[in-house]
Each structure stands twice: as structure tokens, then as C-alpha cells.
Amino acid sequence: MTDAAIELANVSVRFADMIAVDRLSLSVAQGEIVALVGRTGAGKSTVMNLIMGTLRPNHGSVRVGGHDPANSGEALRGVLGASFQTDRLLPWRRALDNAALGLQILGQSRDQARTTAASWLARLKLVGCDSKYPHELSGGMRQRVSLARALAVDPPILLLDETFSQLDAVTSRALRQDIGALIRDLGKTCLFITHRIEDAVEMADRVVVLAPGARIVMELSPTEMDHSAAHNQIADAMETASGA
């Protein structure tokens, strides 16, 4: 096992005649929170799919905890937790049973899984929602259920793709503050994908700005600088990248 939780080395992905990822090298240390920022089509979700192992690169290597996620057998079982832009809840399952799903997939009994899921719903400030169906919850609440499902399996690595982007500014801010504090407290590694600069600046130890082809145009550490200066630098880099 290497020190890096996630390591992409010289990775390229081609779809038909377009290059979605062009020789990307990126590594995320254990316990680090990294934001990937870039405009639509930059290749962010493609990078997430590579790390999830649902997509294989045409070139280069992807490693999660030292293993190839597309061919890891049981080695990465329970290691990656993911939350997506859409909440991907099952409409016929109540909030509690949606949150319990990951644990049941990993083999826990329904009762055991429900007990753990209930504590995560409470931790994500969803008290009183356990027996509600997704359609009875607001978008922000559904995102919290989706995050509870990801966190309940206690994965050392979390991948969040646009988790907060669909929410209004106030709800999004509250949720990312809660999640940011939680991730840090638990010492998790997190790769966090967003097109919203404020999400990145407030949550990440390191922000990586991607241009189309998932080319890295800038990296900075908001924790080491004034947030409004970080915001401006990222905005400038995104603008330059889109014109390139």
C-alpha cells in the first residue's frame, strides 16, 4: 500500500474521437480533502468513474489504496463511498432503508444495518425522517439521506460528485459545513467534485482546477490563504481554461 489513497498516473480516456482525459496525473494523500473544479465537460465525472473502477483508462494507471479499482476483486470492498449529483435513492424505500442499503449490500442484517443507518441520519440532522419516502423529502434532505448511505459503511475514501450543487446557496452552505467538519473529524480521504468555487474554497485542503481534457491548470491550498483571494484566483483560472 502506497501513501497515496488515490493515484492517477498519466491517465488518458478517449470516447470515440474525443479525449475526455488527457494524460492526467493526480494523487490524493490519505486524510486529504481535494476539490476538483472545472466547467461542465472538463472531465470531472469521468475522473470519478475511473476512481470508482466503472471505467478503465485507455492509457496510464489508476490506483486506490494501491489496487486497480477496475480489477480489485474483494480488496476495495467497502473502501470507497460515493455520493452523486442526483441522490440515486430508491423511491420505494423509506429514508432509513435507503440509508441502510450499502450496509445490507455488504452483508449486514436488516436490523443491524437499520440501527447504524438511523444514527447516521441523526448525525446528518435528519431526525424524524426515517420513515419518509424520498418523494416526501426536500432535495436537501434527499442529499443528506444519500450522504448517510455513503457514510454508514464507514469508507476510508469518499467521492462526492456535485453533491451540493443542486441545492440553494443557504442549504448548500449548511450541508457542506456539516459534511466538511464530519470528514475532518473522521480523518477520511475525500475527493470532491464541483463546478462551484465556494464549495471548493470552503471545504478543500487543496483545489485542483481542470480545463477540458481534465488538464490541470492550477492547484492551490485555500487553507493557507485568504478565501476571497483563493476564490478570485480559481475564477481566473477557470476563465482562462475555458478560452484555451
Ligand X SMILES: Nc1ncnc2c1ncn2[C@@H]1O[C@H](COP(=O)(O)OP(=O)(O)OP(=O)(O)O)[C@@H](O)[C@H]1O
| Binding range to ligand X, per CB under 6 A, among 38-46, 98-106, 215-223, 230-238 | 38-46
DSSP 196: -
Please report whether residue 63 would count as binding ligand X according to CB under 6 A.
Answer: no
Taking CB under 5 A as the rule, does residue 116 contact Mg ion? no
Binding-site partner at residue 83 among ligand X, Mg ion, none, CB < 5 to 8 Å by type: none
Grid cell, residue 23, equals 494524460
Maximum separation of any 2 CA atoms in the chain, in Å: 54
**Which of ligand X, Mg ion, none is residue 40 near (CB under 5 to 8 Å by kind)?**
ligand X
Q: How many residues does the chain have?
A: 244
Cell reading at 147: 450522504
Minimal distance, residue 45 CB to ligand X, in Å: 3
Q: Provide φ and ψ at 67, rounded to 5°.
A: -110, 150
Of the candidates 226, 230, 186, the residue with the CA atom closest to the CA atom of residue 31: 186
* 44/94 with CB nearer Mg ion: 44
Instruction: For residues 80 and 52, give the distance between their C-alpha atoms in angstroms, rounded to a whole number.
Output: 7
Write down the least CB distance from residue 212 to ligand X, Å. 7
Instruction: Output the smallest distance, CB 164 to ligand X, in A.
Output: 13
Rg of the chain over Cα atoms, rounded to whole angstroms, equals 18
> Pick from 45, 83, 98, 108: which binds ligand X (CB under 6 A)?
45
CA distances to 169, 191, 236 from 166, in Å: 9, 18, 23
Nearer to ligand X, 84 or 133 (CB): 84
Task: Compute the distance between CA of residue 75 and CA of residue 89 in angstroms, rounded to an integer.
Answer: 26
Which of 37/117 has CB closer to Mg ion?
A: 37
207 touches ligand X by CB under 6 A? no
Per CB under 5 A, which of residues 17..56 are in contact with Mg ion? 44-45
The residues that touch ligand X, with contacts defined as CB under 6 A, are: 15, 20, 38, 40-46, 195
* Contacts with Mg ion, residue ranges (CB under 5 A): 44-45
